[in-house]
Amino acid sequence: MHVIYLAAIVAEAMSRALMGMRRGMDRFGLALVGAVTALGGGTVRDVLLGHYPLGWISHPNYIFITICAATVAAALAKPLHGLRSLFVTVDALGLVAFAIIGCNVAAEMDVSAPIVVLAGAITGVCGGMLRDLLCNEMPLVLRQDLYASVALAAGTLYLALQHVGVEQNTASAVALIGGFGLRLAAVRYRWRLKSFAAADSGGVH
């Protein structure tokens, strides 16, 4: 799970840096956006739960990893642009991995089951939400219901499996694969919950 976490923050930092480049940010801004996206979800979760110290404060190397990933992504921007589908894939993996990691953190804090699932979804979603706030955009998650819903579904599946006695590592793996497949299917087939704005053009994340 720790390896998946590192892969997820690297992927998040890289894909977000590429987005930031289109908005005319400089190197510092790209690195900041990459680090905020990758570490922001866990930070919001920990502040809301009162779970101190924050992960990146006890492990500052996480910050360097995300900044390096964002910088490398920006430097390699041209060739990586052709790998867009790879990033969508790794981003989906990161979303689900963040959700399960967030569930584990909350589960250790003796809160109720709905809050555990919600903490997972916050971990998966809030990094991107902070990035959108910094970039002065309306958060994508408010328009893309099958981003947050996938995080909620993966967390619910994870908790339910553990509740019926499945061992933790198995439950993690099943929830990871299930959520990952759901997210990829949502992107590929452009699934959306019924929106109130039918005219709204549904951009793929």
- Report the interface residues with a copy of itself, using CB under 8 A: 21, 23-30, 32-33, 43, 47-50, 52-54, 57-58, 60, 63-64, 74, 77, 111-112, 114-115, 118, 129, 133-139, 141-143, 145, 148-149, 192-197, 199-200
In this complex, which beta carbon is closest to a copy of itself, that of residue 108 or of residue 167?
A: 108
In the bound complex, what is the minimum distance in angstroms from residue 134's beta carbon to a copy of itself? 6
Toward a copy of itself, which CB reaches closer, 33 or 92? 33
**Between residues 19 and 172, which has the closer beta carbon with respect to a copy of itself?**
19
Closest distance of CB 25 from a copy of itself, Å: 5
Min dist CB 143 to a copy of itself, Å, is 6
At 179, give phi and psi (nearest 5°).
Answer: -65, -40
Give me the amino acid identity at 51.
H
DSSP string for residues in 118-138? HHHHHHHHHHHHHHHHHTT--
Tokens of residue 163, six digits: 């509740």
The Cα–Cα gap between 25 and 90 comes to: 23
Rounded CA-CA distance 62/70 in Å is 12
Give min distance, CB of 138 to a copy of itself, in A: 4
CA atoms within 13 A on the CB side of 62: 23
Cis peptide, bond prior to residue 139, ω within 30 of zero = no
Q: Which is nearer to a copy of itself, 32 or 157 (CB)?
A: 32
149 versus 156: smaller Cβ distance to a copy of itself: 149
Residue positions counted in the chain: 205
Q: Which is nearer to a copy of itself, 26 or 167 (CB)?
A: 26
Q: Are 15 and 91 in contact (CB under 8 A)?
A: yes
The least CB distance from residue 170 to a copy of itself, in Å, is 27
Backbone angles phi, psi at 203, to 5 degrees: -70, 140
Min CB(91)–a copy of itself separation in Å: 19
Token pair 């900044």 in the structure block, residue = 67
